[in-house]
Amino acid sequence: MSRPLVLLSAVGLFALTAAVSAQAPFLARPAKAADRTAAISAIQAQLKAFGRGDYKTAIGYQSSGLKKNFASPDQFRAMMTHAYPEFAHSKRVIFGPAQADAAGAHLAIPTAVTGTDGITVHAVYLMVREGKSYKVEGVAGGAISPPADFDTGPSRDV
């Protein structure tokens, strides 16, 4: 099965970050170094858990709100390996500058993630502080899109 190459230029990554910031205008300042470091540590730990195939640990890095979307670690694994294969099987990640809200409770961190297949995708991690640690609240971008010739079948009103 071949997958389309999902690759954004620096301009595309800037536009993605700007779009996330436009929807979350409270992310109006650069994150404090300690907050950025803590959030990146959580992302890296989750990526390492994915690499080990340890989705029980990996789901622990999701925010409490996101955890509710998955009935089990196996369901989380299925979603990640299908929609976000470069994250599920990453070999390299580069982090950009983080933006934060005034309290540092929410951060947006642009990333470039290269999978073991050599494909690099760009995304913005949305992080939230829960207790004393940061959790993944969402990821904007980075998903593998269906091929252009993907047939969704006839449309109908619902």
Q: Residue 57 maps to which CATH number?
A: 3.10.450.50
Name the CA dihedral angle for 100, 105, 111, 113, rounded to a multiple of 10 degrees: 180
Taking residues 73-83, what's their average pLDDT?
94
Number of structural domains the chain divides into = 1
CA distance 107 to 105: 7
Mean pLDDT of 104-112: 94
In a domain, 21, yes or no: yes
Neighbour-count burial for 43-65, b at 16+ CB within 10 Å, e otherwise = beebbebbeeeebeebbbbbbee
Greater confidence (133 vs 155) lies with 133
pTM of the model: 0.77
In a domain, 155, yes or no: no
Instruction: Name the 3-class secondary structure at 130.
Output: strand
In a domain, 151, yes or no: no
Using 50, 70 and 90 to split pLDDT, how confident is the model at 21? very low
Residue 101: name the closest of 130, 66, 128 by CA.
Answer: 128
Tell me the mean pLDDT in the region 142-148.
Answer: 58
- Interatomic CA distance for residues 42 and 75, integer angstroms: 21
Specify if 2 maps to a domain: no
Q: Which domain covers residue 93, as residue numbers?
A: 10-141
Say if 119 falls within a structural domain. Answer: yes
